Amino acid sequence: MGSFLSGKRLQIAVIAAICAVLFGVFLLLGPPQLLAKSESPDFCASCHVMEAQHTAFMHSGAHRRNKCVDCHLPNDGIAMHYIWKSIDGMKDVLFFYSGKVPEKITLSEHGAKVVKANCIRCHSTLVSQMDTSRDCWKCHRRITHTGVGSIETN
């Protein structure tokens, strides 16, 4: 009888562990509709501090067909994409709810590397013969959500 109870307890523990893992994955990824919604520009603009960036984005020509995550998250692998989506998302939530949102929203050093890599990835044929050591937005100012004019010469 003792081994039956310990076997039953083990079975319950295994089932509970599996349920906990599945629940954790669900919390991590959420329902598919939530994940898709969280990658839309409207979702990013739902935070009032991003309204100016969203408005500029909606007037940015061809790039407005993209989602924010196409430029602002690593897109060289699904794992890195979702790891950084989680990190950046939690950082944004912490800034917003702590009341420490910066007056001027700027790219971090890591964010700038990600955006530049995505520019090069999307425009690979165009930039294959170019020196890609400069940041794209130094000349193409309109892609910064705040710049005016399209090309600067220097």
CB contact at 8 A, 64 and 107: no
Binding residues for a menaquinol: 88
CB contact at 8 A, 29 and 35: yes
Binding residues for heme: 44, 47, 50, 63, 68, 71-72, 88, 119, 122-123, 136, 139-140, 145
Nearest to 58 by CA among 48, 44, 47, 72: 44
Residue given tokens 């910066």 in the structure block: 102
Binding residues: 44, 47, 50, 63, 68, 71-72, 88, 119, 122-123, 136, 139-140, 145
Cα separation, 30 vs 24, in Å, equals 9
Which pair of structure tokens corresponds to residue 113?
A: 């590397």
Cα separation, 86 vs 92, in Å, equals 10
